[in-house]
Amino acid sequence: MNKVILLDKRPVGKPTLDDFKFIEEENPVAAEGQVLLKTLFVSVDPYLRGRMSSGKSYVPPFKLNEPIQSGLIAEVMESRNPDFKVGDYVSARLDWKEFQVSDGKDLIKVDGNAASLSAYLGILGMTGLTAFLGLTEIGKPKTGETLVVSGAAGAVGSVVGQIGKILGCKVVGIAGSEEKMTILTSKFGFDATVNYKTSTDLKTDIKNAAHDGVDIYFDNVGGVVSDAVLVNINQFARVPVCGAISLYNDTELAQGPRIQPILVKNSVLMQGFIVSNYAAKFPQAIKQLTTWLNEGKLTYTETIVNGFDHIPQAFIDLFEGKNEGKMIVKI
Ligand SMILES: NC(=O)c1ccc[n+]([C@@H]2O[C@H](COP(=O)([O-])OP(=O)(O)OC[C@H]3O[C@@H](n4cnc5c(N)ncnc54)[C@H](OP(=O)(O)O)[C@@H]3O)[C@@H](O)[C@H]2O)c1
């Protein structure tokens, strides 16, 4: 029998295991024109929390009692589609199922010899693209500028910081544990770090870490961390707003400081974005990320959780900061 994970309830506040339902169904069979796929790696991502709510967003909400979908790497086990052969590896947004069929339309072939398969869910996939395009298209870094990144030890943040260094910035990372502070400086080359969980005065700690103020703030978390960064912002700074994970489980609209005076006084550009806004630039961006990886200028880390049954818990753990780099479930 084939295992499937459905959305059972819309989470209220932080998601719990009770919001998900495991079922078993008959094993699928590929019809003419289809391929049979076996799931190998599953990406769990903070944005899935938004799709679990019923509110309108840039992607439609998941339906109750239907499989959850996310980025997957799968292997073609049987092919009745001339574009695919048995043993091909593909990447796509697919259902949380051990096996499923596809007509091949949205499948992207990936090369398991060019990079590890899981990398196509991270540094060479959605999160790597988000880091590169958000930083270069909106952040527009210049040599000598100071870049501050929140969610710095995560999938997007760790890549943003490294690209900032490649492009000649001084880079400050904000994250939530001492272990993450160490990895940011020792593995990813950040110049300074701030632990937002232990800091008793975030504004001052960010001011001291940045020295000359903040020219670019790549915002992954929103909330009080971002409030503390924005009071340290420099004239003509740019703020790519990538995500706001600290607010995703809120049940009421959070109140924060009114930031308009800060933006006006300092002529700051603040812009939200969705990585798909830059879809036309994906091939070029992947080429650049691959080059930097091969040259050893970029590196990455992954938190791999083993087992299909652990997908929901791995997703929930994102909100506890249990991952370093990309959170991935290996099936
Ligand atoms: N705009 C786009 O197209 C796009 C694309 C991909 C991702 N995103 C967004 O980018 C952000 C990062 O995504 P990711 O995939 O790279 O996830 P991630 O950073 O790998 O994982 C989430 C991290 O968020 C931190 N976190 C959790 N709760 C927090 C809180 N209350 N306050 C501050 N930090 C908190 C945790 O690290 P700590 O230990 O440091 O707390 C956790 O490890 C998310 O907001 C996501 O929605 C946007």
Query: How much is the average pLDDT of 103-127?
Result: 96
Assigned token pair, 159:
């890549």
The stretch 80-100 carries a mean pLDDT of 98
Flag whether pLDDT at 59 surpasses 90. Answer: no
Return the residue whose CA atom lies nearest to atom 30 of ligand 1: 246
**pLDDT tens, residue by residue, 61-83:** 999 999 999 999 999 999 999 99
Token reading at 6: 């459905």
The confidence band for 58, taking pLDDT boundaries of 50, 70 and 90, is: confident
Q: Give residue 56's pLDDT.
A: 83
Within 6 Å (CB) of ligand 1, which residues are found?
45-47, 126-127, 130, 151, 153-157, 175-177, 180, 220-221, 225, 242-246, 273-275, 318-319, 321, 323, 327
Q: How far is the CA of 157 from the centre of ligand 1 (A)?
A: 8
**Position in ligand 1 atom list of the atom nearest CA 246:** 31
Average pLDDT over residues 91-114: 96
Residue 325's Cβ-count burial label (10 Å; 0-12, 13-18, 19+) is: buried
Q: What is the DSSP letter of 224?
A: H
Residue from 51, 121, 224, 245 to probe ligand 1 pocket by mutation (most atoms less than 8 Å from CB) = 245
DSSP state of 119: G
Reported pTM: 0.97
* pLDDT above 90 (res 189): yes
Give yes or no for a contact between 193 and 172, defined as CB atoms under 8 angstroms apart.
Answer: yes
Cα 246 to Cα 175: distance, rounded to the nearest angstrom? 12
**How remote is the CA of residue 151 from the centroid of ligand 1, in Å?**
5
Q: 3-state class of 109 per DSSP?
A: strand
- How many Cα atoms within 13 Å fall on the side-chain side of residue 23? 11
Where does the pLDDT of residue 215 fall: very low under 50, low under 70, confident under 90, or very high at 90 and above? very high
Phi and psi (nearest 5°) for 251? Answer: -100, -10
Report whether pLDDT(114) > 90: no
What is the best residue among 126, 156, 241, 322 to mutate for testing ligand 1's pocket, by most ligand atoms within 8 Å of CB?
156
- pLDDT-derived band at 27 (thresholds 50, 70, 90) equals very high
Mean pLDDT of all residues in 35-61: 94
- Tens-place pLDDT, residues 279-302: 999 999 999 999 999 999 999 999
- Neighbouring CB atoms inside 10 A of 195's CB total 16
Taking residues 85-107, report their average pLDDT: 98
Residue 118 confidence (pLDDT): 97
57 — pLDDT class (breaks 50, 70, 90): confident
- pLDDT of res. 292: 97
Above pLDDT 90, what percent of the chain? 96
Helices within the chain (DSSP H only):
48-52, 126-133, 155-166, 178-186, 202-210, 223-230, 260-266, 282-294, 311-317
In ligand 1, the atom with minimum distance to the C-alpha of 224 is: 32
Query: In which element (H, E) is residue 102 found?
Result: strand 99-102
Mean pLDDT, the chain, whole residue set: 97
pLDDT-based confidence at residue 154 (cuts at 50, 70, 90): very high
Strand boundaries in 16-96, DSSP class E:
20-25, 35-43, 69-79, 89-95
CB 196 within 8 A of CB 171: no
The pLDDT value given to residue 258: 94
Q: 57: which 2 tokens?
A: 């967003």
Residue 55's pLDDT band, with cuts at 50, 70 and 90, is confident
Mean predicted confidence (pLDDT) in 125-140: 98
Average pLDDT over residues 22-39: 98
> Rounded distance, CA 51 to CA 130, Å?
18
